[in-house]
Amino acid sequence: MGSGLPPGDATQALCVFVLRCYRVAVAPLVAYCVLLWGVGVVGGYLLAYRGLGPRPAQNTPAAFWLASSFALGLLAIILPLILWRAVRAYRPA
C-alpha cells in the first residue's frame, strides 16, 4: 500500500518541493545542513565515541543511525512550519 518511505521522509520531500514553488530555497537548505550535519553526523560521533549525557560511548554505527533518524524527525517537524510561514506570507501579484 505505502511507498516504503517513513512518513517523515515523505513529509520533508513534499514540503521542500512545495517550498520551491513559493521560491523559498535557503531556509530548507539551512535546516538540512544544520540538522543532518550538526545533529546527524556530530551527534552520531558524540554518541558513538564520546558518550552523550548519561549515555556512555556506544562504539557502533547504530549511534550514527540513531542521530540521523532523530535529525530527520526534527526536519519532518520544522519543514512544515517553514512551509506554513511561506504560505501565510505569500501575496499573489
Per-residue pLDDT tens digits of the chain, which is 93 residues long: 455 555 667 888 889 999 999 999 999 999 999 999 999 999 999 999 999 888 899 999 999 999 999 998 899 899 999 999 999 999 887
User: In this predicted structure, what is the pLDDT of residue 55?
Assistant: 87
What is the CB-side half-sphere exposure of residue 91 using CA atoms within 13 A?
Answer: 1
At 91 the pLDDT is 86
Residue 73 grid coordinates: 524527525
- Determine the Cα–Cα distance for residues 44 and 65; give it in Å rounded to an integer: 7
Contact partners, residue 90, CB within 8 Å, separation at least 6: 22
The whole-angstrom separation of Cα 50 and Cα 63 is: 11
| CB neighbours of residue 59 within 10 Å | 11
Q: Look at residue 3 in the predicted model and tell me its pLDDT.
A: 56
